[in-house]
Amino acid sequence: MTGGATRRGQTGFVVGFLAPAVLIYGLFVVWPLIQAFAMSLYNWQGISMDRQFIGFKNFIDLKADSDFHHALINNLLLLFVGGGVSLGLALLIAHALQDSGKLSKTMRSFVLFPQMLSLVVVALLWKFIFNPRSGLVTSAMNALHLGQYAKTWLADAHTALTAVGISFVWWACGFYVMLFTAGIRAIPQEVGEAAELDGARGILRFRQITWPMLWSIKRIAIVHVTITVMNVFVLVYLMTRDGQTSTDMMLTLLYRNAFKFSKYGYATSVAVANFVVVMILSALILFAFRKNPETSR
């Protein structure tokens, strides 16, 4: 066979394998996104087929909607505080439990346990923990003679978002511990041995070896936690009964407009805005992590 024929055969082979995946992705991801954007241009109640084309009016209204601004700020707060704490805590735990001993394996299993639970279970569990009458938090404060400071965490506008953030960190941390653990184990053993010979142990080893060599893992983790936080719904909805507007997120706002106010077109514009925010944040993260010190690129 000639070189050209060989290349054409290789191209046909690659196209044949990629075509089903591309078709499925286009059918179930790209096409629904196009339909969602198209729906956001209509005034539609979601019940009948009657709908009125209004162009970008939904997005203009969204820009002036204080509820949308509040939900976006809450999402960003949960991302930068809750997501940041989750990643930082996970990295420290992964570094502390990087040996392969039985104790480290057991501790990693305990940390990963929340990830095995459904978010519905996590939400109900933490709702019980923050119960103002019989919850673990109230009981602990009473045991410490601090009962006068006990409050209805999930009903108080000043503490509800904090309570949701605590439950999110508890649930999300284990996944990132496993992610960082895999990254640490991928670091060449001779690098760690050389660092120990040079006296780099504990925090010094973390700063000089672990931190810079987890560049690609950190990028993946930050993008993942961004997508997770921006799409959080069940945790907030079940913990606050969708009645605590101080914890409103983008998707709870979407749900309320679609299923309570029957404003499907407007709700879809919220979904499109959420998608755009996620894409912008992901692009900024990838840009910030564009130069990998591991490969000097």
State how far the Cα of 71 lies from the Cα of 277, in Å rounded to an integer: 12
Residue 242, classed as helix, strand or coil, is coil
Alpha-carbon distance values, 92 to 36, 162, 242 (Å): 40, 22, 34
Which two structure tokens, joined as six digits, stand for 271?
């979904």
- Using alpha carbons only, what angle is made at residue 133 by residues 130 and 134, rounded to the nearest 5 degrees? 75
Q: What is the pLDDT along the chain (297 residues), one digit of tens a residue?
A: 455 566 666 777 778 888 888 899 899 888 988 998 999 999 888 777 788 889 999 999 999 999 999 999 999 999 999 999 999 999 988 888 877 677 777 887 788 888 888 899 999 999 888 887 777 877 777 676 666 556 678 888 888 899 999 999 999 999 999 999 888 888 777 766 666 666 666 677 777 777 878 888 999 999 999 999 999 999 999 988 755 678 899 999 999 998 888 899 999 999 999 999 999 999 999 998 887 665 655
Q: Residue 71: which residues within 8 A CB-CB, separation 6 or more?
A: 248, 249, 250, 252, 253
E strands, the chain, where? 42-43, 52-53
* CB-based contact 194:216 (threshold 8 Å): no
